[in-house]
Structures are given as C-alpha cells and as structure tokens.
C-alpha cells in the first residue's frame, strides 16, 4: 500500500510591515534639534495661510546631580496659529507617518509628509493637535502618545473628538479658524540623549535666534511670530531688512546680484532660478579690526559675529547657514563677518541641493557648486580687499591724528612696566625737568608748522601733557647739522628729538610714510613729497622701496658700528650699551608681535 506524502498545513499569520512601537522609538533619533523640530509646525502654519503664530515654552524644573537648586527646563511646547485649520478627515490622518495633503508638491514649504510627526516625537513622547476649520466652531482633537503605543493601548490613530483647548493655552487661540499643537512629556528637551540637561533659557535663546533668521522673509512680509509673548524680529544676514529695534540703521551695500537658471532634474527641459546676492555691511560698522567680535555691544546686538557663512534659502525659508567648503580663496577670515551671502532656490531643485526630509542642511551638487563658486569667489575676494583697505585707511587716519610715533611710544610704555628703570636724568630737579619739558613742547609745536616736518599741528599744552605721561616719546623737529637724533634724559621721561632734515629721514623714513599712506603730506628731499589717501604703489615700486629700506637699515647699523670704532677700546666703552640696546629692541619687537 503506497503511503501518501505528508503535506504540512499552512498557517497564515499577519505580519505587520512595521513594528510600530520600536520603529517610532528608533525614529526619535532623527536629525532634528529643538529649533528645527519647532520649525515643522511653523512651516505647516505658514502653509495654512496663518498670519499669527504663537509659540510657548512651559517651564518645569529638574535637579541635576548633587545640586540643590533645580534647573529650569522645557516641560511642554505649544505652537498656535490662525490658519485655515484642518477638517476632521485631515486631522484624523495628520500624524500618520507619510501622510501629507501636500506630499511631493514642489511649491511651498512642505513636501515629504513626515516632518511634523518626526519633529514632535524627536523632542517629546506625546503630541496633541487641536484644530477647527470653521470660525467660532468647536475644536477637534487628535493625538499620538509613544507610551500608549509601547504598552499597546494605542494601536490606531483615534478618531478626532470634540475637545476644549487646554486652559493654559486658551489665550493663544483667537475666535477664528486655527490649529494648536502641544508637545508634552518633553524628555528630549529636558535631557538630551547624551544626558545633558537642556536649560529652558538656552532653548529659548536658540529658538529665538533660529526663528528670526529662518523665517525672516515671512516676518518681514508681515507674518507675526511670537515666542513666550515676545514678537520675533527678522535677522537678515544681508542686513537689507528693516528691524524695528534698529530702525535707524544703515542698510548694507548690494555688491552682486545674479540669477542662474538651472535644469530641473525631474524635468530636464525646464529650468528653475537660483538667485545669488552678496552684500557688504556699512563701512561705519567695520572701520577697525576686531569690531566684528561679540565683546563689542553694537556687533553683539546685531549678531554680526555670527555672520560667517552662506545663507541658503528654500522657498524663502532658510535651511542652511554655515561655511560651504572650497568657496573662499583662502580660509574663512574674521572680516568675512562683514559680507552677507544668500543663495535662494525653489523646491523643484531639492535634489540639486541634496535637501533632506528634515529640511536641514544643503550642499550643492558638483556642477552647481562650480557655477556658484565661479560667480561668488571673485565678489568675495573683492569685498575682502575693500574691508582690508578700510582697516588700513582708518589705521593711517588715526596715526595721522594721534601722531606717527604713537604706536612705538605705546609699545615702549608697555614694556617699560617690567623693564629696569632709567638712571639718566634721575637727579634733575623737578623745576628744571618741568622747564625742559615746557621748552621741548614749545619747540615741537613750532616745528609742526614748518614745511617738511611730519608732526601734526597741536597745542603746546597737549604736547607737554603727552611728554610728561610717556616714559619714551619722539618729537619731530628740524635743525641744521648731521645729528639724526638728540635725546633728553629726564629720569622717568626720555624724549627723543628726530631731525626731519637728516638724509636718513628724507631718503628712507619719508618714502616709507608715503607708501603706507599714513600722512597726506610727508617730508621729502625737495619738499614736494605728497601722498593721496587712495594712492597705491605698483609692485615694482614696492620692490624698489623695500630695497631702499633694507639698505637704509644696513647703513643705520653700520653707522653705529663706525661710531663705536672711533673709541680706542669700544668693547670697554660700549659693550654694555650694545647688549642693552639689543635686549630692549628684542623686547619691543616681541610686544609689537602681540598687537
């Protein structure tokens, strides 16, 4: 008898495509930080034609380590808007991953259908949404709760039900249509994945700064965004927009504006515009080196110190602000804070900027990067040169106003604080010292009026006050004879008289001043040496000047050696002088390098 083959009985088991609870827990580790997460419901509000958007951080507290005082943290976040609201059907599906009424629409801010839900659960375990699409009508509520999903209590999206807006957020909603999003159980806002406790004030400041820059075009156009009852003002890295707090500020200068038409990847026969704008901040804001640092209140209040990099805008909403590699001719410099750079494109070029579904970050593809770099690099380099010229002109102006020798005088004064004290002239009686300083101040003031003297016109009293304050000072004078300098040793005050008629001055020192642009008129051998503020030497002229300076410095040293050689025993007579001269010169140059 033949045996029948055994046939196993097939048992059908329903296997879900996604293990919802673990998948949602994993998705919490998306690339959202707190500001970018809040940006998703703000985007939705703008898409819903909201004119007013209100954000509120609800404060809680948390003790950290052994500290007795609790740290203020974010317990809840509420985002309210007066947009068109959601119908029952849309509200029922709005928290479903992948659902969007604007999925893959290449206009406006939305596209991907996962942003708002991912954003919410990246920061909190529960999202409640209250919405109405009829003015003065009832609110409907839907929600998602990760704890309930994990326990099996929530397996499906609940049908929207009538619900009152929570009392603590009722004042955020007006009588018309609108939506309220509430994030609760904000564990990630309270404590990050690395265990760091997120202080509420830090979160608030970061969010305020991010909102003001990211949505600047919308705010400037009239959309009102509030954070904890404070109206957000636009922060424009190009410094074109009017900020109420700085209504009287100058506007930046538009250096370059260009539109590049780039092929749309999904429709190669069609192009979409990429708009470039480069601005240079007002010259009065950037007269001196270091003015771009945050320790200057003017700079800090306007956030100029943050202004290094490119602002990339998608549909007039910023998605990137940072340095783009290989765009600058050299490393990013402090002076780049004075240059505003904006690249604006439409969503149909998302692939060309490698836009991710969290709308954070942008990196132009290789061909587009080359086109942008070729357009922007010359403009950036030109702007840098203008900024450097402003620095140089201002330095020269200050030197001309304060005195050509002031920098050296200040260096020697700083070194003098720790140097051995001068002995020469220490025994000069106070009345004689006062009379000598008065005499030198009067002579210097008179010399300032003579043609060929580089001293700036000033009063005898001002010169006298300067000579008394400085341990070492230099005054410009003229006298016949071959002495280049004369020195008056008055104890705590050493005064060097510089002969502006000496050939070393007219042939070496004067051309240096002319080349640097320090003075509008400097001494020359024939009294005709002039320098215009915008005059620049050619490379050949600079090389010739450098050669003259090098030879002149050699001759200065040789002349000193010749003077020593006139003594029968120069080492005995000048050995200590030579050592001390070299030591103090070393100290002064070291101090110069620290400036």
Q: How many CA atoms lie within 13 A of 117 on its CB side?
A: 22
Using DSSP, state whether 271 is helix, strand or coil.
strand
**pLDDT band at 201, cuts 50/70/90?**
very high
pLDDT score recorded for residue 316: 94
pLDDT score recorded for residue 156: 86
Report the Cα 177 to chain-centroid distance in Å: 40
pLDDT (mean) for 478-493: 89
Tokens of 351: 């692939």
Q: 478 with 500: CB under 8 angstroms? A: yes
128-185: pLDDT as tens digits: 999 999 999 999 999 999 999 888 888 888 899 999 999 999 999 999 999 999 999 9
State the average pLDDT for the chain.
84
pLDDT score recorded for residue 90: 92
pLDDT score recorded for residue 25: 67
**Best mean pLDDT range from 200-209, 317-326, 390-399, 495-504:** 200-209
513-568: pLDDT as tens digits: 777 766 554 444 444 444 444 456 777 888 888 888 888 888 888 888 888 888 88
pLDDT score recorded for residue 276: 97
Whether the pLDDT of residue 323 is over 60: the answer is yes
Nearest C-alpha neighbor of 73 from the set 210, 228, 204 = 204
Domain-by-domain residue ranges, the chain? 20-231, 244-398, 417-594
Which residues are paired to 254 by β-bridges? 279
How many other CB atoms are there within 10 angstroms of residue 530's CB atom? 12
Q: What is the dihedral of CA 43, 49, 52, 58, to 10 degrees?
A: -40
Query: CA–CA separation, 237 vs 496, rounded Å?
Result: 50
pLDDT score recorded for residue 141: 96
Tokens of 293: 């640092």
Indicate the range of 27-36, 361-370, 444-453 predicted with least confidence: 27-36
pLDDT score recorded for residue 217: 97
pLDDT score recorded for residue 260: 96
**pLDDT band at 329, cuts 50/70/90?**
low
Model pTM score: 0.71
pLDDT score recorded for residue 531: 42
pLDDT score recorded for residue 568: 85
Q: 276 with 256: CB under 8 angstroms? A: yes
pLDDT score recorded for residue 525: 41
Range list of β-strands (E), 291-389: 310-314, 317-322, 339-345
Nearest C-alpha neighbor of 292 from the set 398, 396, 387, 214 = 387
pLDDT score recorded for residue 235: 96
State whether the Cα torsion 544-546-549-553 is positive or negative: negative
Indicate the range of 292-301, 516-525, 552-561, 576-585 predicted with least confidence: 516-525
Whether the pLDDT of residue 95 is over 80: the answer is yes
Q: How far apart are the first and last CA of the chain?
A: 107
Report the Cα 410 to chain-centroid distance in Å: 31
Tell me which fold the domain 20-231 belongs to. Heat Shock Protein 90 (3.30.565)
Range list of β-strands (E), 289-376: 310-314, 317-322, 339-345
Query: CA–CA separation, 127 vs 139, rounded Å?
Result: 16
Q: Which residue has the higher pLDDT, 423 or 49?
A: 49
Whether the pLDDT of residue 29 is over 80: the answer is no
Core vs surface per residue 248-264: b (16+ CB within 10 A) or e: eeeebbebbeeebebeb
Q: 71 with 197: CB under 8 angstroms? A: yes
**pLDDT band at 595, cuts 50/70/90?**
low
Nearest C-alpha neighbor of 455 from the set 465, 466, 464, 445 = 445
pLDDT score recorded for residue 524: 43
């Amino acid at each position: 008898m033949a045996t029948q083959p055994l046939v196993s009985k097939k048992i059908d088991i329903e296997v879900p495509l996604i293990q919802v609870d673990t998948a949602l827990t994993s998705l919490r580790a998306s690339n959202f930080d707190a500001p970018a997460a809040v940006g998703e419901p703000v985007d939705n509000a703008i898409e819903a034609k909201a004119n007013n958007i209100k954000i509120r951080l609800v404060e809680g507290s948390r003790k950290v380590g052994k500290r007795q005082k609790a740290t203020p943290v974010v317990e809840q976040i509420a985002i309210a808007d007066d947009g068109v609201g959601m119908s029952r059907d849309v509200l029922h599906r709005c928290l479903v991953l992948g659902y969007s009424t604007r999925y893959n629409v290449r206009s406006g801010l939305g596209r991907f259908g996962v942003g708002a839900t991912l954003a919410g659960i990246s920061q909190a375990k529960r999202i409640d949404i209250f919405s109405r699409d009829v003015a003065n009508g009832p609110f409907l509520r839907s929600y998602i709760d990760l704890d309930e999903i994990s326990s099996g209590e929530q397996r499906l999206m609940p049908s929207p039900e009538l619900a009152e807006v929570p009392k603590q957020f009722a004042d955020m909603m007006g009588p018309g249509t609108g939506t309220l999003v509430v994030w609760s159980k904000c564990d990630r806002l309270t404590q990050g994945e690395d265990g760091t406790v997120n202080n509420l004030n830090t979160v608030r400041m970061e969010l305020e700064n991010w909102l003001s820059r990211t949505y600047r075009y919308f705010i400037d156009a009239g959309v009102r965004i509030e954070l904890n009852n404070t109206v957000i003002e636009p922060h424009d890295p190009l410094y074109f927009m009017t900020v109420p707090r700085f209504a009287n500020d100058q506007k930046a200068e538009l250096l370059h504006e260009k539109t590049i038409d780039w092929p749309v990847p999904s429709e190669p026969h069609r192009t979409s515009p990429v708009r470039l704008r480069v601005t240079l901040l007002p010259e009065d804001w950037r007269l001196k080196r270091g003015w771009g640092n945050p320790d200057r209140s003017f700079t800090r209040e306007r956030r100029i110190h943050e202004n290094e990099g490119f602002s990339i805008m998608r549909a007039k909403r910023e998605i990137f602000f940072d340095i783009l590699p290989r765009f600058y001719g050299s490393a990013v410099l402090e002076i780049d804070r004075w240059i505003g750079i904006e690249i604006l494109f439409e969503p149909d070029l998302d692939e060309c900027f490698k836009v991710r579904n969290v709308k954070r970050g942008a990196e132009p593809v290789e061909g587009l990067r080359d086109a942008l770099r070729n357009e922007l690099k010359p403009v950036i380099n030109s702007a840098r040169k203008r900024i450097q010229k402003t620095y140089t002109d201002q330095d020269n102006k200050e030197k001309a106003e304060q005195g050509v020798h002031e920098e050296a005088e200040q260096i020697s004064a700083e070194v003098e604080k720790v140097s051995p004290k001068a002995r020469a002239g220490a025994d000069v009686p106070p009345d004689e010292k006062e009379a000598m300083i008065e005499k030198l101040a009067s002579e210097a003031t008179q010399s300032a009026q003579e043609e060929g003297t580089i001293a700036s016109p000033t009063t005898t009293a001002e010169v006298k006050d300067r000579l008394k304050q400085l341990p070492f000072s230099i005054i410009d004078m003229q006298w016949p004879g071959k002495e280049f300098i004369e020195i008056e040793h008055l104890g705590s005050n050493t005064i060097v008289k510089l002969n502006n008629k000496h050939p070393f001055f007219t042939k070496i020192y004067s051309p240096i001043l002319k080349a640097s642009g320090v003075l509008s008129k400097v001494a020359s051998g024939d009294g005709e040496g002039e320098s215009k503020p915008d005059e620049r030497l050619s490379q050949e002229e600079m090389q010739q000047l450098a050669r003259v300076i090098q030879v002149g410095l050699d001759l200065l040293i040789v002349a000193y050696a010749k003077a020593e050689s006139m003594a029968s025993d120069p080492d005995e007579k000048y050995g200590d002088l030579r050592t001390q001269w070299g030591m103090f010169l070393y100290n002064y140059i070291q101090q110069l390098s620290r400036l």
